[in-house]
Amino acid sequence: MRIFMSLLKNANPKIEYYSRFSPSPLSIKQFLDFGRDNACEKTSYMFLRKELPVRLANTMREVNLLPDNLLSQPSVRLVQKCFLELLIEIRNRHNDVVPTMAQGVIEYKERFGFDPFISSNIQYFLDRFYTNRISFRMLINQHTLLFGNDTNPAHPKHIGSIDPNCSVAEVVSDAYDTAKMLCEKYYLAAPELKIEEFNMKAPKKPIQVVYVPSHLFHMLFELFKNSMRATVELHENSKEGLPPVKAKVTLGKEDLSIKISDRGGGVPLRKIDRLFNYMYSTAPTPSLEPGAVPLAGFGYGLPISRLYARYFQGDLKLYSMEGVGTDAVIYLKALSSESFERLPVFNKSAWRHYKTSPEADDWSNPSKEPRDASKSKYKANR
């Protein structure tokens, strides 16, 4: 605790200073152009030196606005300490921030229960917290892959972590194969995959896009994993076998869209939003032992995947028909020049989000028991 308080005392002036600046979002095209055109290590270093503290400080200002009961949880204090050290040393040293923060939320829920207003604030914060983490890992990875010893010989044509000619169908197949292996391990069976491509720009040609393959793989793997599990559990005793999971990839003038469709029984409409809620998970509390599968059991797969999609101005949406199946659609920008980072900014609007009390709903809500109108003292005019 003394070490933490010492770090906090030393870092607070820096947090206050750097949080006055807004982050500078980059587009995929800017990442690409810099990596291609005689990339200068000094220029990259100077940008990181200025930009990383700004992004980290904006996050730390919001951390301090979280509920006191959540901030007091050991895992959350550990995350605070990690980020303070990051701000002071300007480097990425901790790979366990996501599961550790998730553990902090679980500790809070077990101790204090569920509160809708607190849950809304935590949802708002974690979306911004994890988006910032994605962003500065992107910056650091670009620098280390371009100028360090972290080059990937398997992908010599990549510009840092960006593939200028990312074959979407190949990433879809890779994500499917990985999810299939996991599904067969647990269920001893897995549905097949059917892929279709519709290229509006160049008909009959494979769809390629400028993107970060690891981000796309993360999203697709999560969607395939969910689709396969639902399909196997619903149809494992069917005489007709397992219906295939379908992937449809389309490239238009503005959007690259990837739809993953299954026949896994679907989800009721009222539960769709819960699937993206960090505070809602039916899974048992997972272990944080070294070597454990990242995020296993936390229920963070879909919300984190949506953040990856939104990071470069895309989105991830679910459309489900209960009793039939679910369509999950990933939307990405077709043009790299329009794929700008979507970054959280700490300002008065963000501050008010944490401080404003919830207002009464201005739409009617169904009551648990129907009211007996005959006993009401207010009767309709006749």
- Residues noted as catalytic: 218, 222, 225-226
Please return the burial class of 211, using the count of CB atoms within 10 Å of its CB with bins 0-12, 13-18 and 19+: buried
Give the number of other CB atoms < 10 A from CB of residue 125: 23
Chain centroid, CA 154 distance in Å: 26
Distance CA 369, CA 176 (A): 47
Three-state SS annotation for the chain: CHHHHHHHHHHHHHHHHHCCCCCCCCEHHHHHHHHHCCCCHHHHHHHHHHHHHHHHHHHHHHHCCCCHHHHCCHHHHHHHHHHHHHHHHCCCCCCCHHHHHHHHHHHHHHHHCCCHHHHHHHHHHHHHHHHHHHHHHHHHHHHHHHHCCCCCCCCCCCECCEEEEEEHHHHHHHHHHHHHHHHHHHHCCCCCEEEEEEECCCCCCCCEEEECHHHHHHHHHHHHHHHHHHHHHHHCCCCCCCCCEEEEEEECCCEEEEEEECCCCCCCHHHHHHHHCCCCCCCCCCCCCCCCCCCCCCCCHHHHHHHHHHHCCCEEEEEEECCCEEEEEEEEECCHHHCECCCCCCCHHHHHHHHCCCCCCCCCCCCCCCCCHHHCCCCCCC
Distance CA 139, CA 135 (A): 6
Terminus-to-terminus CA distance in the chain, angstroms? Answer: 72
Distance CA 132, CA 116 (A): 24
Q: Considering only CA atoms, which of 316, 312, 294 is closest in space to residue 303?
A: 316
